[in-house]
Amino acid sequence: MRNIVFFFVLLWVLLNKANVSAQESNTERSLSGKEVFESGYPKTLSFRNDKWLLNLNFSHWEKAHMHFNGITKKYLQEEVNMPLMASEWANTYAKDHPEKLMLVHLNGEARSVNDDVTFKTYFPGHWVYEKGSIPVQDISKNQNIITLEDVSTFSLKAYTVHGKDIGVAFRPHDILLVKVDKNGKRLWGQSEFASIINIDQAKNQIKIKRGQHGSMAREFSMENTYIAPIAGDIWGGNLMYYYNLSSTCPRDKNGHSAADIFVGEMQDWFGKGGILENFDGVGFDVNYFVVKHKTWDCNNDGKIDNGFVDGINIWKEGDLNFLQKIRNVFGPEFIITSDGWNDNMQRAVGILNGMETEGLCRWNDGFRQISRTINQHTYWNLHNTTKYKFSYITAKLRNPADEMISDQLRRMGLGLASCLGVAYSPAPNLNIPEILGGKLNQPNWLGQPKGPMKYILGDQEDLLLGDGLSMSADLVQKFDLKNHSHRIEDNQLIIKGNKEDRHENMVIPGPDLKVESGDIIIFLEAKAMEAFIDLEKGSLVPRKINIKMEGLPDYPEEPMRGHLLYNNLSGFMGVDGYTPLMFYFRNVGGADLKMTLEVEEQGAFAIRNLQVFNSPCVISRVFEKGVIIVNPSLENIHIDLSQVVNNKSKFKRLDTSSNKNKDLNIDDITSVSIPALDALFLLKD
């Protein structure tokens, strides 16, 4: 590559140390002095492998975690079966090492129902139900075969078994038999849990096991009874019911919703004398921003709504209220994160401290949708207003094709996390030499950043010839805007949808592109002029602005449908200002391409500084004691190191087992090689 460097700066303040405001905590808990906020890079968080070393003694467990800046694991019974010793050790560790960040990994959407305590804490109305049916006959206490008007929504394969072999792949629905009043309102105190044993579709009959989960078998009249399947799944061997976190969740006799009960439990766990008293916060495994299921009846009216009622997303509304309750109760000196590998997962910017990216891109993708990872963390770093900003990328790789090159992908993940200014979270038993600088054996060995993250491009011209910088009339004509209002103002293109249904997404065909070979990187800045319809005007919650490319080649088929992930790349934009975004398409040359924008809802948005380069993507960042160069392309890259650092600087490769018997010195600053899907860590000499 020649000596042209394109610097795409994500704002120095964005990628510098965590922003700490003058907010005051309403608890005695303090996050001051934590290594993840004050130490250099790489910042690390030991992630999961929950029962690792619990068969040994505490001192051995403690020593094995000390080189990490923090830990997040399962310690409670809310999803998987954990020994009490796990939380006791972790709480002691947090007390003895206040410089370490300690988070509990919680399921933020569902709860294990394998114990009676759960049903004494939550009442029947606190769970999500699917569309049910009514009986066509009275039901006696001892009756186990019930004829319904319709059994089509009941299933013998309702709950998929994930994560642990329990001898079956699926389990039948649990159900609730509940009395209703003359208006159809469910009388939750007059209900009974049961489990389906068999279904006779021809006769519309279900065979059930009565009086489950501590409930008693009751008599039910056909005139005032409703029978509904319970929404759930099986993780770690345990059946789990989904919390109803919608804004219409029924309240128990004390006036408490499921969210209220959940937050109350957290107060017990994290409060004085609680099992997690010394902890610093929670990392939600999953907590969906919108309903991901196609069978849910969230407002309990007997109709499938998937969280959307009368033009209002009652799930989004309720879930944001749930997270805000946690923030209100625990104050700013408490970390709240959530998993964000899926676009429907959390976007509660300004409430959560940050996001977990599972597996660099997603749990089954170690590199393909890297644009999404970069764009998501860019938005959160730039616009989040919480007192402490804390996000992390995990080392999880589930795709068999990715596992075959796991060492380099994890090195790339560590490098990209540091470039983005977020932590990296390997499992505690993973050996990634670059975390400790190889034989330096020193946590946070790179020190603090000396500048922002940069993109290094080749010598190609902008394929749009600068028209996207001014948003020229010629370029705008190449967008198909016949179904949209638009105007050019101050070098920005402002677009608004004209559809009557304001919730409908916009699809906007853009310019045609043609390259002979190689990759394409699209840079732009985006801003939502209007927030989500059903959220307050000043909300920091971002809307999606995705780019999809028509005419891409057929990528070789991969496990877990990985070859389908190279397209439809996600970005995020909000009303608080412009966000720089990047969209990276690999091996696209030789075809006629068309860029298409896909934007959430019909509200106005703006784009500016649109540029397209026919170049592989190379990312770099300079630190006090070294430099990182990340290569997420599918080809080996050779660059001049002078494109990254001052010509007078000298660097050497890390002394690691993989570099054994190699010359570590870099004598020629004009020639550095970075393998495909890898990262190069260099130590200042």
Structure confidence by residue, pLDDT tens digits, 402-415: 999 999 999 999 99
Residue 160 Cα distances to 172, 307, 532, angstroms: 9, 22, 33
State the DSSP H helix or E strand holding residue 438, giving kind and residue range, or none if neither: none
Model confidence at 157: pLDDT above 60: yes
Model pLDDT for residues 573-597, shown as the tens digit of each residue: 999 999 999 999 999 988 899 999 9
Cis peptide bond N-terminal to 400, omega within 30: no
When pLDDT is cut at 50, 70 and 90, the band that residue 168 belongs to is: very high
Residue 14 has pLDDT above 50, yes or no: no
Pull the structure tokens for residue 215.
């409930």
Contacts of 145 (CB under 8 A, 6+ apart): 205, 206, 207, 208
Pick from 542, 490, 168: nearest CA to 348: 542
The answer on pLDDT for 11 being more than 50 is: no
pLDDT tens across 240-258, in order? 999 999 999 999 999 999 9
Neighbours of 22 (CB within 10 A): 6
Q: Which two tokens stand for residue 363?
A: 């749990």
CA dist 154 to 50, 57, 332, Å? 35, 48, 44
* Contact present, 622 and 449 (Cβ < 8 Å): yes
Q: Which helix (H) or strand (E) holds 193?
A: strand 186-200
pLDDT of 310-330, one tens digit each?
Answer: 989 999 999 999 999 999 999
Confidence label for 19 from pLDDT (cuts 50, 70 and 90):
very low
pLDDT tens digits for range 264-285: 999 999 999 999 999 999 999 9
Once rounded to an integer, what is the mean pLDDT over residues 160-165? 92
Give the pLDDT confidence of 420-432 residue by residue, as tens digits: 999 999 999 999 9
For 451, the enclosing helix (H) or strand (E) is none
| Mean pLDDT for the stretch of residues 390-412 | 97
Q: Mean pLDDT across the stretch 101-106?
A: 98
pLDDT band at 27 (very low <50, low <70, confident <90, very high): low
Q: In percent, how much of the chain has pLDDT > 70?
A: 96
pLDDT at 616: 95
Confidence of residue 163 (pLDDT cuts 50, 70, 90): confident
The pTM of the whole model exceeds 0.85: yes
As a whole number of angstroms, the distance between CA 614 and CA 435 comes to 33
**How confident is the model over 117-141, as a mean pLDDT?**
97
Distance CA 337, CA 331 (A): 14
Closest CA to 334 of 381, 271, 378, 288: 271
> With 60 as the cut, is the pLDDT of residue 455 above it?
yes
* pLDDT of 623 higher than 60: yes
Establish how many alpha carbons lie within 13 A of residue 486's alpha carbon, considering only the half-sphere containing its beta carbon: 20
Q: Classify 638 as helix, strand or coil.
A: strand
In terms of DSSP H, where are the helices of 100-227?
116-121
Question: Is residue 21 pLDDT above 70, yes or no?
Answer: no
**Backbone CA torsion sign across 452, 455, 456, 457:** negative
Work out the pLDDT band at 22, boundaries 50, 70, 90.
very low
Dmax (CA) of the chain: 88
Residue type, 244: N
Q: Mean pLDDT score of the chain, rounded to an integer?
A: 93
Strand partners, 288: 345
pLDDT tens-place string over residues 488-526: 999 999 999 999 999 999 999 999 998 999 999 999 999
* 6 pLDDT above the threshold of 50: no
Report the C-alpha gap between 226 and 219 in whole angstroms. 13
User: pLDDT tier at 25 (50, 70, 90 boundaries)?
Assistant: very low
- For residue 274 the two structure tokens come to 């609680």
pLDDT at residue 619 greater than cutoff 60: yes
Is the pLDDT at 661 greater than 90? The verdict is no
Query: 176-191 pLDDT, tens per residue?
Result: 999 999 999 999 999 9
How much is the average pLDDT of 54-65?
97
The predicted-structure confidence for 211-250, as pLDDT tens digits, reads as follows: 999 999 999 999 999 999 999 999 999 999 999 999 999 9
Q: In whole angstroms, what is the distance from residue 372 CA to residue 568 CA?
A: 10
Contacts 24+ apart (CB under 8 A), 377-381: 377/420, 377/421, 377/422, 378/10, 378/14, 378/420, 378/579, 378/580, 378/581, 379/349, 379/542, 379/572, 379/573, 379/574, 379/579, 380/349, 380/354, 380/355, 381/10, 381/14, 381/15, 381/420, 381/421, 381/422
Distances in whole angstroms, Cα of residue 223 to Cα of each of 136, 178, 182, 205, 594: 9, 12, 9, 18, 59
